[in-house]
Amino acid sequence: MLWSTERYVAELLYFCHLYEENRTLGLEVERARQILSEQHDFANRSPQELTFQDAKRELASGHLNPATQSELAALVAKIQDADMPAMKERFVKKHYQIFYDCPNEFTALLPQLLDGFFNAFGADFVTSGSNKSLIKY
């Protein structure tokens, strides 16, 4: 019932890693949204509404100055490489897989719990404005 020191430290390390990964993504999303919200096309939208698709459209539009174009392109690449669906999947496998192996009344509610956790770190940016998880298990 009580964990060993080794197991507890390993768990802390896991969470350090997880938060480090999530925060990195969150900061990238925050900066990408900041860049987009400074553009004329998005002046009427709140930063939280701006999505990955908006960023790709803005990059394709040719409206950005070279420095901003370069920065936003780099952010988009990093956000894509972070692979949010895979991050969620790893999280589920570690903590919540039992709800899919043994479905119960909580299983259908799990995606919104996952969104609640990951959206805090900018995951909603890559879910195309949808409140639903991209992934199905």
Partner 1 sequence: MASYARPRGIAVSLLNGINSSVDAGTLLSTVKSYEGAPKYRYLSPNKPAELSLMLQLWDYWSKQLPEVKMWAMFAGDPGGCTEKGCGPGTYVDLSIRISKIIKKNNPGAQIDFTVWQFFGWGPTWETQMRKDSARIDRGFRYLLAYLQDFPQGTIYGININEFTGAHTVPDGGSAVQYIDKIGATHLIHTWTPSVTEGEGWINHHDRVPGILVARRAEARYPIAGGISDTMTPALNFLNQFACADAYWNPDITESQIMESYVEGVFGTTSVDLIRIFPWFNAAPAVGYTFEKGHVWNVDYPSDSEGDDRRSGDARSAAHALSFSFSDVMVYREVRC
Nearer to partner 1, 16 or 74 (CB): 16
Q: Does the protein bind partner 1 through residue 41 (CB under 8 A)?
A: no
Stretch that binds partner 1, among 35-43, 68-76, 78-86, 111-119 (CB under 8 A): 111-119
Torsion of CA 131, 121, 67, 70, to 10 degrees: -70
Do the beta carbons of residue 58 and residue 36 sit within 8 Å?
Answer: yes
Under DSSP, the state recorded for 108 is G
Q: Which of 119, 134, 135, 137 binds partner 1 (CB under 8 A)?
A: 119
Instruction: Between 116 and 129, name the residue whose CB sits nearer to partner 1.
Output: 116
Backbone angles phi and psi of 109, in degrees to 5? -90, -10
Q: Is 120 in the site for partner 1 (CB under 8 A)?
A: yes
Binding of residue 93 to partner 1 (CB under 8 A): no
Which amino acid, one-letter code, is at 88?
K
Stretch 12-31 residues interacting with partner 1 (CB under 8 A): 12-13, 15-17, 19-20, 22-24, 26-27, 30
**CA distances from residue 6 to 1, 17, 18, 74 in whole angstroms, order as listed:** 14, 16, 18, 39
Which one of residues 37, 117, 134, 135 is an interface residue with partner 1 (CB under 8 A)?
Answer: 117
